């Protein structure tokens, strides 16, 4: 039995904010009180610091095979980078290769993650080929593998996209078994048309990536999947929402009492489309789908967080090194889509969100941790600091300042989309299941420490 006492910190959850000591035995929080005097194997003085629940990033792609290459972070390097920045749990997308079973997809993802991830992890199952065989696999994926969320792509025509009929039938199946559909909403046919048009006109630079995926393309698909889910009575979570037009579809759905869960990602809150219009190939660093939008969309996203229209801020962490991005030097449609971010989500959300006065401390905890835990069946094991919960805790120093640079980050990628950003507040110590995982920038645990998290079926009460 190992024990850890954290003294003098200020606990912040999605609802509370108070000074308390926290006692941890083995992996769980066992006591919280104003003062705890029990002896412990180790005591941490958290005076002047906040204690936040470990961050959950519900949208990552570790070593994803994609567009002719692989995302550069492995489960080992990516989850360790996450721990450096306060993220203790990820939910990664296990993506079916068309023609293969869901079972083999899940096995495949386990073989990449098991014994390698340093942080805790769960999987969403992305269905890219829904047929009679796939349909039969759904109950086992939910009940045996503990995966309640099923991703569909409405874009990436030809390799990931499925049609509306398949998506609707999948939804009907999920309703029977306690699943939730999570969707990448972009109109794949519209994108396909615009990509071909630009290429035929000799327009090959990174800016045409953005121009081939306008907001209407995302809004149309968002509206369509919202309607399909409403008709199927299926819980829906739209991933990486970027713009005002898509948010309007979510808002409209509430008028008929439909609950749509929505996620945005850090980069859509902090960066804008002007980055595509830089000289040369620089814009390739932020080639991702959907693309970055306008400052007015950033404002709409921050507002949507405060209006509870958006429940989670993830990263869509899908890093590619510059030489991988160069696969598309002569053709923007060949630039691998995706960007790094897992390491900086929690700190930047604090700095740009709380410190800049855009969101409250409680909201910060909700969107970086609690909201995702509730939607995806991890709560209250994850997503809060409470007796009985896993002791995943960030000791966060709000006074510490630092500057982001690829020279010192821990993600396995040779650039940062936040290069030079000055950050107010720092994760001093990250604790995962009662063990100090990272302390003052030093990793204290190693490859394989992370545990797979089977999840409960979707709970509509949340
Ligand atoms: O550009 C992105 N987002 N890459 C990762 C795959 C996806 O669409 O989520
Ligand atoms: Zn996507
Ligand atoms: Zn993604």
What are the DSSP calls for 358-422, one per residue? SS-HHHHHIIIIIHHHHHTT-TTTSSS--TTSB--EEEEEEEEEEE--TTT--SSSS--TTTT-E
Can you tell me the distance from the alpha carbon of 105 to that of 272, in angstroms, rounded to the nearest whole number?
35
What's the average model confidence in pLDDT over 187-191?
A: 98
Nearest ligand (C-alpha, residue 124): 3
- Based on its alpha-carbon atoms, the radius of gyration of the chain, rounded to whole angstroms, reads 21
Residue 239 lies in a domain: yes
CA torsion through residues 384, 386, 388, 392, sign: positive
Alpha carbon of 330 to ligand 3 centroid (Å): 24
- The answer to whether the CB of 86 falls within 8 A of the CB of 52 is yes
Tokens matching residue 157? 């025509």
Q: Residue 393 corresponds to which tokens in the numbers above?
A: 């805790």
Instruction: Name the region of 164 (left: φ>0; alpha: ψ -120 to 50; beta: rest).
Output: alpha
Q: What is the 3-state secondary structure (H, E, C) of 247-269?
A: HHHHHHHHCCCCCEEEEEEHHHH
The C-alpha atoms of residue 205 and residue 212 are separated, in whole angstroms, by 11
Q: How many CA atoms lie within 13 A of 114 on its CB side?
A: 9
In a domain, 308, yes or no: yes
Q: 338 CB less than 6 Å from ligand 1?
A: yes
Within a domain: 406: no
Query: Whose C-alpha lies nearest to ligand 1, atom 1?
Result: 288
* 48 lies in the same domain as 142: no
The helix or strand, by DSSP H or E, that contains position 81, with its residue range, turns out to be helix 75-84
Whether residues 134 and 182 share a domain: the answer is yes
Helices 295-306 and 244-254: crossing angle in degrees, nearest 10, is 30
Give the closest residue to 20 by CA, choosing from 30, 41, 37, 6.
Answer: 6
Instruction: Note the pLDDT of residue 227.
Output: 98
- Ligand 2 centre to CA of 445 (Å) is 31
In a domain, 411, yes or no: no
Q: Tell whether the model's pLDDT for residue 1 goes beyond 80.
A: no
Q: What is the number of the ligand closest to the CA of 213?
A: 1
Pairwise CA distance, residues 335 & 81, whole Å? 24
Asked if residue 251 and residue 317 are part of one domain, the reply reads yes
pLDDT at 161 > cutoff 80: yes
Atom 7 (ligand 1) nearest CA:
289
Query: What burial letters (b/e) apply to 195-222, b meaning 16+ CB within 10 Å?
Result: beebeeeeebbbbbbbbbbbbebbbbbb
CATH of the domain at 138: 3.20.20.140
Residue 462 is predicted with a pLDDT of 78
Give distance in angstroms: CA of 94 to centre of ligand 2. Answer: 13
Closest listed ligand to the CA of 338: 1
- On whether residue 97 sits in a domain, the answer given is yes
Chain length of the chain: 462
Mutation choice for ligand 1 from 293, 337, 341, CB with most ligand atoms inside 8 A = 337
- Ligand 1 contact via 316 beta carbon (within 6 Å): yes
Q: Are 119 and 25 members of one domain?
A: no
Do 316 and 426 belong together in one domain? no
Question: Angle formed by the axes of helices 215-232 and 164-177, to 10°?
Answer: 40
Please say if the pLDDT value at position 119 is more than 90: yes
* Backbone φ, ψ for residue 125 (5° rounding): -110, 115
pTM for the full predicted model? 0.98
Which atom of ligand 1 lies nearest, measured to the CA of 184?
8
- Name the residue of 292, 318, 340 to mutate for ligand 1: max ligand atoms within 8 A of Cβ: 318
**Cβ of 61 below 6 Å from ligand 1:** yes
Q: Decide: 273 in ligand 1 pocket, CB within 6 A.
A: no
d(CA 460, CA 462) in angstroms, rounded, equals: 5
pLDDT for 282 equals 98
N-terminal to C-terminal alpha carbon distance within the chain: 34
- pLDDT score of 283: 98
Which residue's C-alpha comes closest to atom 9 of ligand 1?
A: 316
Average pLDDT over residues 28-32: 98
Residue 454 within any structural domain of the chain: no
Position 397 scores a pLDDT of 99
Predicted confidence (pLDDT) per residue in 311-324, tens digit:
999 999 999 999 99
Residues 11 and 110 in one domain: no
pLDDT (0 to 100) of residue 461: 82
Q: Three-state SS for 37? A: coil
Q: Are strands 17-25 and 50-53 parallel, antiparallel or unpaired?
A: unpaired
Structure-block tokens of residue 210: 């953005």
Judge contact between 337 and 67, C-beta under 8 A.
Answer: yes
Residues 217 and 263 in one domain: yes
Average pLDDT, the chain: 98
Report pLDDT for 36. 98
Domain that holds residue 147: 54-375
User: At what angle are helices 102-113 and 132-143 packed, to 10 degrees?
Assistant: 40
**Nearest one of 18, 19, 16, 17 to 8, comparing CA atoms:** 19
Q: How many angstroms does the Cα of residue 378 sit away from the middle of ligand 2?
A: 22
Residue-wise pLDDT tens digits, 296-306: 999 999 999 99
Could you give the CA distance from residue 267 to residue 339 in angstroms, rounded to a whole number? Answer: 9
159 Cα to the center of ligand 1, angstroms: 13
E strand intervals along 166-210: 180-184
Nearest CA among 73, 125, 118 for reference residue 102: 125
Which candidate, 343, 366, 349, 364, places its Cα nearest to that of 270? 349
Residue 407, in any domain of the structure: no
Task: Give yes or no: residues 43 and 161 share one domain.
Answer: no
Are residue 44 and residue 75 in the same domain, yes or no?
no
Q: In this predicted model, what pLDDT tens digit does every residue of 85-103 receive, in sequence order?
A: 999 999 999 999 999 999 9
If you average pLDDT over residues 189-209, what whole number do you get? 98
Percent of the chain with pLDDT over 70: 100
392 plus 352 within the same structural domain: no
CATH of the domain at 28: 2.30.40.10
Angstrom distance (rounded) from CA 54 to CA 452: 16
* 159 vs 48: CA distance, rounded Å: 51
The reply to whether ligand 1 has any atom less than 6 angstroms from the CB of 213 is no
| pLDDT tens string 337-384 | 999 999 999 999 999 999 999 999 999 999 999 999 999 999 999 999
Residue 415 lies in a domain: no
Residue 423 binned pLDDT confidence (cut-offs 50, 70, 90): very high
For residues 392 and 287, state if they share a domain.
Answer: no
Together in a domain, 248 and 391: no
H or E stretch at 303: helix 295-306
Beta-carbon count within 10 A of 416 CB: 22
Tokens for 452, please give them.
Answer: 């797979």
As given in the structure block, the two tokens for residue 332 are 């923007």
Number of domains in the chain: 2
Reported as half-sphere exposure (CB side, CA atoms, 13 A), residue 234 has a value of 30
């Amino acid at each position: 039995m190992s024990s850890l006492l954290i003294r003098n910190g200020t606990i912040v959850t999605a609802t509370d904010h108070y000074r308390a000591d926290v006692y941890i035995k083995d992996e769980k929080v066992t006591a919280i009180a104003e003062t705890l005097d029990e002896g412990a194997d180790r005591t941490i003085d958290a005076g002047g610091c906040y204690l936040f629940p470990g961050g959950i990033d519900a949208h990552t792609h570790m070593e994803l095979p994609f567009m002719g290459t692989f995302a550069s972070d492995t489960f080992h390097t990516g989850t360790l980078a996450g721990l450096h920045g306060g993220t203790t749990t990820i939910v990664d997308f296990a993506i079916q290769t068309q023609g293969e079973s869901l079972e083999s997809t899940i096995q495949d993802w386990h073989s990449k993650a098991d014994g390698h991830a340093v942080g805790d992890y769960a999987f969403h199952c992305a269905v890219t080929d829904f047929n009679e065989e796939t349909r039969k696999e759904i109950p086992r994926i939910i009940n045996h593998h503990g995966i309640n969320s099923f991703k569909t792509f409405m874009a990436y025509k030809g390799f990931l996209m499925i049609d509306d009929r398949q998506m609707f039938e999948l939804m009907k199946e999920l309703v029977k078994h306690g699943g939730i559909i999570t969707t990448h909403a972009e109109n794949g046919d519209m994108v396909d048309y615009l990509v071909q048009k630009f290429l035929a006109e000799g327009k090959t630079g990174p800016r045409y990536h953005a121009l081939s995926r306008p907001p209407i393309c995302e809004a149309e698909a968002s509206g369509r999947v919202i309607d399909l889910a409403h008709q199927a009575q299926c819980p829906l979570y739209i991933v990486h929402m970027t713009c005002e037009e898509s948010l309007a579809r979510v808002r409209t759905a509430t008028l008929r009492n439909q609950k749509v869960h929505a996620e945005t990602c850090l980069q859509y809150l902090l960066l804008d489309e002007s980055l595509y219009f830089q000289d040369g190939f620089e814009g390739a660093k932020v080639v991702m789908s959907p693309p970055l939008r306008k400052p007015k969309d950033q404002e709409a996203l921050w507002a949507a967080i405060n209006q509870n229209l958006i429940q989670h801020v993830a990263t869509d962490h899908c890093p590619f090194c510059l030489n991988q991005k160069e696969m598309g030097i002569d053709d923007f449609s060949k630039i691998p889509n995706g960007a790094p971010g897992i390491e900086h989500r929690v700190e930047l959300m604090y700095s740009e969100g709380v410190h800049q006065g855009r969101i409250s401390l409680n909201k910060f905890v909700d969107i970086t941790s609690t909201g995702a835990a509730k939607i995806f069946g991890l709560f209250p094991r994850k997503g809060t600091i409470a007796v009985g919960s896993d002791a995943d805790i960030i000791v966060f120093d709000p006074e510490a300042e630092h500057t982001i640079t690829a020279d010192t980050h821990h993600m396995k990628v040779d650039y940062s989309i936040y290069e030079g950003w000055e950050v107010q507040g720092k994760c001093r110590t990250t604790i995962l299941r009662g063990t100090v995982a990272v302390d003052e920038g030093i990793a204290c645990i190693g490859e394989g420490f992370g545990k797979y998290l089977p999840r409960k079926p979707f709970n509509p009460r949340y």
